[in-house]
Amino acid sequence: NLQLNPERYTGYAGPSARRIWDAIYSENCPKYSSGEICQEKKVLYKLISGLHSSISVHIAADYLLNETSNQWGENLELMYNRVLRYPDRVRNLYFTFLFVLRAVTKAADYLEQAEYDTGNHAEDLKAQSLMRQLLHNTKLQAACPLPFDEAKFWHGQSGPELKQQIQKQFRNISALMDCVGCEKCRLWGKLQVLGLGTALKILFSVDGQNQPDQPLQLQRNEVIALVNLLNRLSESVKFVHEMGPPIEKIMGEQVSEHPAPEIGSWQRIWETLVGLRLGKLISS
């Protein structure tokens, strides 16, 4: 039950946790460590980085501040040091959110007609209603009419090769998640990687003219993973959007003593990224 096991700080840290992320980056984006552009047009790296940032946001947002008194709260310093002080990580978080959002809107017809059978009729009706509200949200449609144009990436001379390469790498990432020593971390990690893989599956299933290469079919666990991932990413984006400025202010004195990369205006980042299509972000 995910509600009984929320994504939060678990104490899983140190060399073991770092080795997992290092392996994910080094095995699937070999040039990451040197800071060079990934050969997969940076798509996969941006997705991994965005997911990594989102996970870090949730850990910092629900952190065990005092083990003795069991006090939980926001670890703003951790949030700043892991995500907010790096503008590229923030951009990749938004990129991943819009990427997954595009997949959900692309699969709207399928998701609206899908069976949500849990054995509880009332809960099934509620799930269907909530899904329709999400898919037909006018504010969302107005803000992001076309958040991502996947036709630019999956077609052309290297398109088929790019698809196969990314699919292979996602299988590798999922396998690496099996090595996570923390059971709850492994649960959330594999769930969200499956969600990203499902988003790719949806976007791979259509061509530039929005004609399906093959009928879209999703398994129940893929739908669950996709919706949960969209929720996790949207919560991360919301937290960064709301807490970015006050955290920047709180850390201001420390930043002045130890200069970090320029953060800029979070309001400007939000307005710019929501207004842009992701194709422009990839080329940045």
Could you list the active site residues? 182, 185
Q: Is 52 annotated as a binding residue?
A: yes
Residue bearing tokens 């980056």: 25
Which residues are within 8 A (CB) of 49 and not within 5 positions of it... i.e. 6 or more apart?
88, 89, 92, 93, 96
Q: Is 49 annotated as a binding residue?
A: yes
Q: Is 72 annotated as a binding residue?
A: no
What is the rounded CA–CA span in Å between residue 32 and residue 46? 11
Beta bridge partners of 73: 63
User: For residue 36, what is the DSSP state?
Assistant: P
Q: Is 268 annotated as a binding residue?
A: no
Other C-beta atoms lying within 10 Å of the C-beta of residue 227 = 19
Q: Helix 183-204 crosses helix 159-177 at what angle (to 10 degrees)?
A: 170
Which residues carry a binding-site annotation for FAD?
8, 10, 21, 49, 52, 82
Which residues carry a binding-site annotation?
8, 10, 21, 49, 52, 82
